[in-house]
Amino acid sequence: MEMKEGTTFWKSGHKPSLFSAFFYFDISFMIWVLLGPLSVIMMEDYPMTASQKANLVALPVLGGSVLRLVLGFLTDYIGPKRTGQLGMLLTMVPLIWGWRFVDSLGELHVIALLLGIAGASFSAALPLASRWYPPQYQGLAMGIAGAGNSGTVLSTLFANRLAQHFGGWEAVFGIALIPIVIVFIFFSIFAKDSPNQPAPKKLSEYGSVLKQKDTWLFCWLYCVTFGGFVGLTNYLTIFFHTQYNLSAVHAADFTTICVIAGSLFRPVGGYLSDRIGGVRMLLILYTGAAIMLACVSSLPPLYVISILLFAGMMCLGAGNGSVFQLVPQRFRDEIGIVTGIVGAAGGFGGYLLPLVLGGLYESTGSYTPGFLILSGVAVASVLVVLAAKGQWKKTWFAASSAKKLIADPVNAEFKS
């Protein structure tokens, strides 16, 4: 039965577009977080304070957060394929600039912001894949395309090794041009816009969604889960290097271990949310993240803290899947708009996290206060979900009884 369902899935959409979306997303995420591991080597050319280092690795996330909305508009008006092609061409600009022309810390900050174009790939890659598939398979299609966030592992694992081998971080920017050019060619040949393109969204529709309290609530939830994941992805190499005196390569290796946890457990979070309910799952995951981050704040030995961060990133990564298991149930008719807004909020959380850790380290000389604050944010998220659950029980459950708008796992959750 499962084999037949899998066969039906592959026949129901457009496989070349699905894999094009995955490759575009994967390489874009690799480039988006490139400065995280490389920042430790860049400090040799451009000495920076703790706050300056945090700001440098945070800027690509800020750029990605803002530009997700821009690419979302373009996806509606010119289609996801053209938007993806434009995104890749523009991503080559900061890579070429960093490879051949950068000569100041100020220029490096501009390059960091422009790398946000790669992070905005979410807005084109996922619609390219999902619009080809019927409703019952869109979750799987988005899961396959969204697995491209594993590209973060490529950066943390190889960037510093390549920099050492080729004698400088600039070479890594040049090398990164190779895979994105290959993917651009593959994407241009094989990707195809679905004939079932929705009508472009109007600005008034965004305004209407922003007036709803639940929109801001989901922004908070994703700001914590995705923001925590991508923020730590960008900052942990600096943390391991500073706190444990690891070399650039070894610091990035320990970061890779933690990043793998966040990447692999995103679909697990969605899967388990389908089984036990997204609200229950988020309560478990935020609690787990709060405990792990509180333990991390004690700054235990390297291998202990690696286990704690692995578990914490696992909770945050799974939380990403849990949030987006709930979003379509609350905003069925406005899912495209809400996905863009919530995704941008997640990126903004990833921008703030390095600033918190770096700024507090500079002012106190310790990472303990920063991780305690992050743990407190996770605890606050537990309270937010508990408060929202009571309201959702009155609105979502009542609506589901009358109009059958909510899936059974969530109904079961509210009935208990």
The per-residue pLDDT for range 381-404, each reduced to its tens digit, is: 999 999 888 777 766 655 554 454
Q: What is the pLDDT of residues 192-208, one digit of tens each?
A: 998 877 777 777 777 88
pLDDT in tens, 213-238: 888 999 999 999 999 999 999 999 99
Q: How far apart are CA 197 and CA 194, in angstroms?
A: 6
How much is the average pLDDT of 298-312? 96
Q: How many CB atoms lie within 10 A of CB 363?
A: 11
Looking at residue 362, what is its pLDDT? 94
Tokens at 161, concatenated: 């090794």
C-alpha distance from residue 352 to each of 57, 188, 256, 371 (Å): 11, 35, 21, 13
Q: Residue 316: which of 226, 217, 219, 218 has the closest Cα?
A: 226
pLDDT at 136: 67
SS (H, E, C) 124-152: HHHHHHHCCCCHHHHHHHHHHHHHHHHHH
**Rounded CA gap, 175 and 300, in Å?**
37
Q: Which of 3-17, 18-32, 184-198, 299-313 has the lowest mean pLDDT?
A: 3-17
